[in-house]
Structure 1
Amino acid sequence: MKLYYNPLSTYSQKVLIAFYEKGLSFEPFIVDLRNKAAKQSYLKINPLGKIPLLITEQNRAIPESSIIIEYLDMNYLTGATLLPRDSEMSRQARLKDRMYDLYLNNPVVNLLFENMKPKDRQDPCLMVRERETLNIMYDRLNDDLSNHSWTNGEEFSIADCAAAPALFYGQRVHPFSKYPAIKAYFSRLMGRTSLQKVLGEAEPLVKNFLK
């Protein structure tokens, strides 16, 4: 398999976590969409210009992080089972995956980029709105974790793949220090070999980015 991604991208990190949880190998193709030449080259492969993108062993192109993870989990039975085989638990995992992508990850990324702008170019209304969304999601996530080790129960799942990158950046732009269940959960995440590997690979880029 070939994976087109960027180590800084939260959605790329989400897929990388899944790869490492399942113990699967891939041929890496790092894409820097800020580089005009690199972007033009990548657009020939994926005209939408979005990452990550998986090219399967059968040469099928699969975009979208959640769909990539579903493909990996359904076609490779090694390592962790990221989509529960119980239909209701699977539905819950998919729901949480979507919620964490749209209402946890996206607001965190928007705040990251707003904070990088000079004060006079920031959008205060956007920042207030995103922080309000994150407060709602932190309340929900804290409840999800109140009696469980992971977001969808006692087994690591696709939902945790989605939550981990968002919380890694989220701790910097909208801390969750007053949420004890999230704090304990984040500590468990940081002890996960898959996330350690993802962050280790991204560390030099993350340091420069956060500066």
Structure 2
Amino acid sequence: MPLQLYAHPFSSYCQKVLIALYENGTAFEWRVLTPDDAATSAEFTALWPIRRMPLLRDGERTVMESSIIIEYLGQHHPGPVRLMPADAGAALEARLLDRFFDNYLQTPQQKIVFDSLRPAADRDPYGVREARAMLDTAYAWLDRKLAGRTWATGGDFSLADCAAAPALFYADWTHRIPATCSNVIAYRQRLLARPSFARAVDEARPYRSYFPLGAPERD
């Protein structure tokens, strides 16, 4: 039975896993989660009542959470591109940066987007200001970290870059990376040029109207 991925192409965390799959040409079956497909949605809910994408099904084994899925793929379905460094210290750096991109870019970015979906009376302007401040701080820290680096860890393309690509893609749409963070801007462009992420971005193009803040006319 092929791997099954319960996901949606426009989801940032799903794109993170898609990058890993595409990097290694790993075969899988799409189980696209959409509001009009009740059967697939019911399957997903039965497997994972928390209902957070993505979810990987490998035979009778169910794997949740994007970072864990990528490490699982490396252990059980390895390909030519090793996304977790063999060196223990480099692996810790990859995991650290993976958490940085998820916690300090994805989380505040999503706070801003989700707040825009609330009724006006229920919005949280203070929380949104905090989220924007966090993004500014994260951009500045990352700009220093990336000095002299092509990929996030300073070594080969890794788990950290799988996390960075969708995080920076959508964060820049939500709260523009300042021109002063030239290392971050250049890194984002390298990620967009990476064939695995370029493919994920192209697959998500039909859904750009879903972006609550309005997708910019770029990327």
Using structure 1 for the length normalisation, give the TM-score. 0.91
The answer to whether structure 1 residue 207 and structure 2 residue 209 are counterparts is: yes
**Cα deviation code 1:45-99 (max 9, x no counterpart):** 222211111111x421000100000011122332321100000000110111012
Superposed displacement of residue 8, structure 1: 1.6
- Residue correspondences, number: 209
**1:17-96 equivalences in 2 (<5 Å):** 17-32=19-34, 37=38, 39-56=41-58, 58-96=59-97
> C-alpha separation between the residues in 1 aligned to 2:162 and 2:185?
16
What code does the residue aligned with 1:199 have? V
Percentage of identical aligned residues: 38
SS in 1 for 2:5: strand
SS in 2 for 1:4: strand
RMSD in angstroms over aligned alpha carbons?
Answer: 1.8
SS in 1 for 2:53: coil
What code does the residue aligned with 1:96 have? L
SS in 2 for 1:44: helix
> C-alpha separation between the residues in 2 aligned to 1:9 and 1:18?
15
> C-alpha separation between the residues in 2 aligned to 1:140 and 1:75?
34
> C-alpha separation between the residues in 1 aligned to 2:136 and 2:91?
26
Of the three residues 186, 190, 195, the one matched with 1:188 is: 190
SS in 1 for 2:138: helix
SS in 1 for 2:206: helix
**1:46-195 equivalences in 2 (<5 Å):** 46-56=48-58, 58-117=59-118, 121-178=122-179, 179-195=181-197
> C-alpha separation between the residues in 2 aligned to 1:136 and 1:86?
29
**Cα deviation code 1:92-146 (max 9, x no counterpart):** 1011101211111111112122234565543111111111111121112111211
What code does the residue aligned with 1:49 have? R
> C-alpha separation between the residues in 2 aligned to 1:65 and 1:95?
15
> C-alpha separation between the residues in 2 aligned to 1:173 and 1:73?
32
Unpaired runs of 5+ in structure 2? 215-219
Unpaired runs of 5+ in structure 1? none
What code does the residue aligned with 2:176 have? P
Partners of 1:7 and 1:202 within 8 A in 2: yes
> C-alpha separation between the residues in 1 aligned to 2:49 and 2:116?
29
**Cα deviation code 1:23-61 (max 9, x no counterpart):** 1110110113x56946444211222211111111x4210
What code does the residue aligned with 2:50 have? L
Partners of 1:141 and 1:151 within 8 A in 2: no
What code does the residue aligned with 1:16 have? L
Structure 1 runs of 4+ off > 6 angstroms? none
Using structure 2 for the length normalisation, give the TM-score. 0.88
Partners of 1:100 and 1:163 within 8 A in 2: yes
Partners of 1:62 and 1:68 within 8 A in 2: yes
What code does the residue aligned with 2:211 have? F
The answer to whether structure 1 residue 11 and structure 2 residue 10 are counterparts is: no
